[in-house]
Structure formats: C-alpha cells, structure tokens
C-alpha cells in the first residue's frame, strides 16, 4: 500500500521530517523508493533536466502523463505526486478538473501539485471536493518565471512575506494537504511552517520546513557545470558515467570488448 496523505500528515504531527525527491522515469523512481524515499514528485522540472528546455513552460500534459506513468510503474510504496504543467489549470475550472483527473486516472499518481496562491485557491478547493488531493507551491514558482523576472528569492520584505503567509493559510483552508516553499527566506519558511497545520516541503527554504525536496539529477551531480545553491551534491555520477564510457570506448578500440566471456559460443 502506498504512503497516503494521512501518513504524511502524521509525520508532520510527530516531527518526523519528510524526505522527498523529484524523479522522472522508471529507473530513478525504482532506485529512490528502494532507498526509502516515501514521496516522489514527478515535477515539471523534467522540462529542464530531461527534455532540455530552458524553463518548465513548454512542458505539456502529455509529457507529464507519460513520465508520471513511468514513475508509478517503478514504485509500489511511495506516494507519487503529479505536477500540473503550465496552462493545464490556469485556463479555467473545467480544464483544471479534467487535467488533474487525467493525472490521477491515467497517470496513476495519488495527488497533484499546482503553483500559485490566491488565484488558484478556488481551483484547489474544487479539486479537493472532487476527491483529488492537492499539494500547493508558493515562493519561486517557475511557471511564472517571465512575470517574476528570473529565478529570484521570493518573500523578502514585510509586504511580500505577509502575502506569502496569507496565501499559505488560504491554500490550507482550501484543502491543500501540503505546500512546497521554494527559494524563500529561511526565517519566513519557519514562520509559515509553525503557523500551518499541514506539512511544508522546502527547496531553498532553510532547515525548519516539515520536509525537504531535491531534484534527482541535482543531488547526484548529473550536470557537472550546474549545481543550484539550494542543492547538496551527494554523488558525482556525471564523472563516474563519463569515466565508464571512456573505459568502454578504449576497450572497444583495443579489441578488449567483448571477451570470450561476453560472447556467445
């Protein structure tokens, strides 16, 4: 049986910090669940790290459905969150309900995530009423990058911080079961976490959230020339892969691969 939103709430209530990872395919999902991750986000960040776009904006519902299905097939126990891509819910209530329903029914995830505060509160409320668990997302919201003017810290200053806090409360009141806080000052994230009853999941939001999320590719060093400030590199897989491939190239050119052991007799 998969981890439920009620289990995640219990973890929050008991002070058990929640580790969360963004993963995008069968293999990575299988590995992180086997390592013990209780919740996986199939993030629209796949636009950047898998599809090669410079933002999440081009990601489509078809992209999200396909990758969510991959992650679901690679797992048995983890709670899977499907990200609602840009313009899959902003175009109206009917589109939001239809697309969230597709992610649950066709994608196989157990909840959906969407970005924004006050403008999406009614959508969150309606989805929850229809039995679709919703994770909110405040702070740096990558789908709004053109409006924000870049990947900048959000919630600085009294007015901005008060707005974020109020929107977090609004999302909670609308029925969101958790909220991602991305690139907001650590003190503000701590305040929001203390005020809310539901879990907060931080990314670049300091250590006092109810949990943390990291992108699979970032934490494993898959991109040697890029490491976000809020990411900790737990391995240097890019270097290991490059070394392995260079070794393979050398063996092929020298006639050392395949050997008799690796050949059919």
H-helix or E-strand spanning residue 178: strand 178-182
CA 60/CA 31 separation, integer angstroms: 26
**Tokens standing for residue 28:** 């990575």
Side-chain half-sphere CA neighbours of 149 within 13 A:
2
pLDDT less than 70: residues of the chain: none
pLDDT of residue 79: 98
Q: What is the pLDDT of residues 11-30, one digit of tens each?
A: 999 999 999 999 999 999 99
Instruction: List, in order, residues 6 or more apart from 197 with CB less than 8 Å away.
Output: 172
The backbone torsions φ and ψ at residue 20, rounded to the nearest 5 degrees and listed phi first, read -135, 145
Residues 249 and 166 in one domain: no
pLDDT of residue 57: 95
Residues 157 and 108 in one domain: yes
| Mean of per-residue pLDDT scores for the chain | 95
Residues 59 and 111 in one domain: yes
Maximum distance among all Cα pairs of the chain, rounded to whole angstroms: 74
Q: Which of 14, 182, 191, 262 is catalytic?
A: 182
Residues 245 and 134 in one domain: no
Check residue 230 and report its DSSP letter.
T
182 is catalytic: yes
What count of other Cβ atoms lies within 10 Å of the Cβ of residue 44?
30
Residues 199 and 258 in one domain: no
Residues in the chain: 265
Name residue 179's beta-bridge partners: 136, 200
Number of domains in the chain: 2
pLDDT of residue 137: 98
Residues 258 and 186 in one domain: no
Residues 216 and 139 in one domain: yes
Residues 201 and 256 in one domain: no
Residues 19 and 105 in one domain: yes
**Tokens standing for residue 74:** 């690679």
Residues 56 and 179 in one domain: yes
The domain in which residue 147 lies consists of: 5-234
CA 74/CA 48 separation, integer angstroms: 21
pLDDT of residue 204: 95
CA 9/CA 1 separation, integer angstroms: 17
Number of H helices, E strands in the chain: 11, 8
Residues 127 and 254 in one domain: no
**Tokens standing for residue 175:** 């029925």
CATH code: domain of residue 33: 3.20.20.60
Check residue 64 and report its DSSP letter.
H
Q: What is the pLDDT of residues 93-114, one digit of tens each?
A: 999 999 999 999 999 999 999 9
pLDDT of residue 149: 73
Residues 16 and 138 in one domain: yes
CA 67/CA 153 separation, integer angstroms: 29
């Amino acid at each position: 049986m998969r981890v439920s939103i009620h289990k995640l709430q219990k973890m929050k209530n008991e002070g058990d910090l929640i580790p969360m990872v963004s993963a995008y395919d069968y293999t990575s999902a299988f590995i992180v669940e086997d390592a013990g991750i209780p919740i996986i986000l199939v993030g629209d960040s796949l636009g950047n790290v898998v599809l090669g776009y410079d933002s999440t904006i081009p990601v489509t519902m078809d992209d999200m459905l396909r990758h969510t299905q991959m992650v679901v097939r690679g797992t048995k126990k983890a709670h899977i969150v499907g990200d609602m891509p840009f313009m899959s819910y902003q175009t109206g209530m009917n589109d939001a309900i239809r697309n969230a329903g597709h992610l649950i029914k066709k994608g196989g995830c157990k909840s959906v995530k969407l970005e924004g505060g006050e403008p999406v509160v009614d959508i969150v409320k309606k989805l929850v009423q229809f039995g679709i668990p919703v994770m909110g997302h405040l702070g740096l919201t990558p789908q709004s990058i053109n409006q924000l003017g870049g990947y900048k810290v959000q919630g600085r200053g009294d007015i901005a911080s008060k707005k974020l806090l109020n929107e977090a409360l609004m999302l909670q009141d609308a029925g969101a079961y958790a909220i991602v806080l991305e690139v907001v000052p650590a003190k503000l994230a701590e305040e929001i976490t203390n005020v809310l009853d539901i879990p907060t999941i931080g990314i670049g939001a300091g250590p006092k959230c109810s949990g943390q999320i990291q992108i699979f590719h970032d934490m494993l060093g898959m991109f040697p020339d890029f490491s976000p400030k809020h990411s900790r590199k737990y391995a240097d897989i890019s270097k290991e892969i490059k070394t392995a491939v260079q070794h393979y190239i050398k063996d092929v050119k020298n006639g050392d691969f395949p050997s008799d052991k690796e050949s059919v007799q």
